[in-house]
Amino acid sequence: MKLAEMRVDAFSEALASDAPAPGGGSAAALEAAMGAGLVAMVCRLTEEKAQFARYRAELLAVQEQAETLRLKLLDVMDQDTEAFLQVSRAFTLPKRTDEEQAARSAAIQKGLEACTKTPLEVMKLAEEALELAASLLGRFNENTASDLGVAGLSLQAGLRGAWLNVCINVGSLKDKALAQDCRERGEALLAKAQPLAERLSAQVGQIVGA
């Protein structure tokens, strides 16, 4: 069963267990997926209002993009867990001979690469969803301001949580060029996302009086 198809209580229980997966990476992807879902919800609760009729086309476009990102992030939940399990399986490979040791090492590195690239994908998708959320400022139903604020916080949490997973894995990559590339890509996404999250938080805070 896919993680996204689990009941909320069952997924929460799996996170709380002593099983190493699903773990923080999948949780970060889910956090971002919830943020994207809230962006879509804000669009739906805005486009139905007559005073926002002039924005309807743009709102429908944002809603569709947010829905696409939500579904992609749910898929990445499973990709993250599978990447971790790939590394775990690689560590169980035999290492009696030089050939077995080389094969085992290569398999471990391949798994670690997946464990690094998957959270980078979460970061990319979360940053795109933050851009969508920020694009709604000034043209959304302010009765949903707290929902848009939670969307921003969830997307920021998902993105920064994924960044932690990038950081913990790049140090184990033997391909130092790849490790550096992944770190630089992650830092660039953080730099793009931070001002978006701050703008969302500030403007939502003004609306709700937080």
pLDDT digits (tens, 9 = 90+) for 33-43: 999 999 999 99
134, containing H or E segment: helix 98-135
pLDDT tops 80 at residue 32: yes
Q: How far is 192 from 197, CA to CA, in rounded Å?
A: 9
Quick check: 44 and 178 in contact, CB under 8 A? no
**Rounded Cα–Cα distance for residues 139 and 64 (Å):** 17
Residues 78 and 2 sit within 8 Å (Cβ to Cβ): yes
What is the rounded CA–CA span in Å between residue 147 and residue 67?
Answer: 16
pLDDT confidence of 178, banded at 50, 70, 90? very high
User: What's the pLDDT tens digit per position in 119-165?
Assistant: 999 999 999 999 999 999 999 999 999 999 999 999 999 999 999 99
pLDDT of 177 above 90: yes
Query: Token pair of 61, please?
Result: 């476009």
Distance CA 46, CA 65 (A): 16
Answer for the pair 2, 79: CB distance below 8 angstroms, yes or no: no
Most confident option among 7-21, 79-93, 131-145:
131-145
Radius of gyration of the chain, Cα coordinates, nearest whole angstrom: 20
Which residue carries 């471990």 as its tokens? 108
Asked if 126 contacts 32 with a C-beta cutoff of 8 angstroms, the reply is yes
What is the four-CA torsion angle of 89, 95, 99, 103, rounded to 10 degrees?
A: 20
Q: What is the pLDDT of residue 87?
A: 86
Question: For residues 111 and 115, what is the distance between their CA atoms, to the nearest angstrom?
Answer: 6
- CB count within 10 Å of CB 61 equals 13
| Assigned token pair, 127 | 């940053």
Residue 205 in tokens: 């805070």
- Which pLDDT belongs to residue 21? 82
